[in-house]
Each structure stands twice: as structure tokens, then as C-alpha cells.
Amino acid sequence: ETGVTQTPRHLVMGMTNKKSLKCEQHLGHNAMYWYKQSAKKPLELMFVYNFKEQTENNSVPSRFSPECPNSSHLFLHLHTLQPEDSALYLCASSQERDGWAFFGQGTRLTVV
């Protein structure tokens, strides 16, 4: 248990579906992140939130829409995804000054 919980663990969705990934941390961290891990590629940073404010959007397509209602929760809303969006989506959180992040276990997403 790392303190960062992601749900669901697995998700299969059609290209016309709308779904959401949820991330929750009760570590008192101020920053939360979404990462994407595709096969044989580096972990790609998607979004960064600091004190609920989005501070980074790494040229992510608009079919991915993040939401951070408070510093403990982070969502990733998905709509009209493509098969190439199938990947492991990882949420992480960190305290600004600690310099390293706790990761959740990830959501394995398959787009069919």
C-alpha cells in the first residue's frame, strides 16, 4: 500500500464510450500527476496539479480531460479514445520539497 489508490484497476472501453479514472491520496501531498506508460516507451508525464491548479499539460490530446476537485483527488475523464490510447495510466503524488513521488498501482486501460 503506497498511499495512492487508483480505481478501477482494469478498464475496457469502446471508442465511443466515456469513462473516468480516479486517483486518491491521503498523504497530505500538494502535487498530483497523471502518467501514461505504453509498452516499450518511457513513462510519459501527462498532467501536473499543484494545490488543485493545473500547472502542466504535456501536449495531451483533448480526449483526455483531467479534474482535480481538491488536493486529495484527481480524475482523468476519457472520451472518444483511440486504440493507441491503450496503456497503463499511473497517478502519483508528491510533496513539493520531498522531490520524489508515490505512485498508485495504475489503471490498465484497453480501448477496443
Partner 1 sequence: DQQVKQNSPSLSVQEGRISILNCDYTNSMFDYFLWYKKYPAEGPTFLISISSIKDKNEDGRFTVFLNKSAKHLSLHIVPSQPGDSAVYFCAASATGTSGTYKYIFGTGTRLKVLA
The residues binding partner 1 (CB under 8 A) are 2, 4, 6, 31, 33, 35, 40-43, 45, 48, 50, 53, 55-56, 90, 92, 94, 96, 99-106
Q: How far is the CB of 109 from partner 1 (least distance, A)?
A: 14
Distance CA 8, CA 108 (A): 8
Distance, in Å, from the CA atom of 38 to the CA atom of 72, rounded to the nearest integer, reads 26
Compare residues 14 and 28 and give the one whose CB is closer to partner 1.
Answer: 28
Closest separation in Å from C-beta 73 to partner 1: 17
Which residue's CB is nearer to partner 1, number 44 or number 80? Answer: 44
| Residues listed for the chain | 112
Instruction: Count the Cβ atoms, other than its own, within 10 Å of residue 55.
Output: 10
- Give me 70's grid cell: 481538491
**Of the two residues 87 and 101, which places its CB atom closer to partner 1 in the complex?**
101
Q: Rounded to the nearest 5°, which phi and psi values hold at 83?
A: -55, -35
The distance of closest approach from Cβ of residue 53 to partner 1 in the complex, given in angstroms and rounded to an integer, is 8
